[in-house]
Amino acid sequence: MVWNTRRMKYCLDTEEHMGSLGENLVLGTKDIGENRVLLVKVILEEQVYLDESIQELDSLNSRIQELEAQLCEEDEECKRY
């Protein structure tokens, strides 16, 4: 549930930034420098989110490997008896 909440917040934040960027470009309400700053912010937030997701996946993969090793050990013990 934590992941879904974090992902939902990330999506809402990104939509807000991209909406602001698109609106600024269409209306010409901000100069190019400000739009670039907003775009860089969106890109950096995307990178942070992806990095966190990769770390979470690595952690889950490690846990899966631990459980598989434990299962193999238990299976070997059962075969002995």
Domains in the chain: boundaries: 2-80
pLDDT digits (tens, 9 = 90+) for 60-81: 999 999 999 999 998 888 877 7
- The encoded tokens of residue 10 equal 């990330």
Q: In terms of pLDDT, which residue wins out, 31 or 52?
A: 52
pTM: 0.55
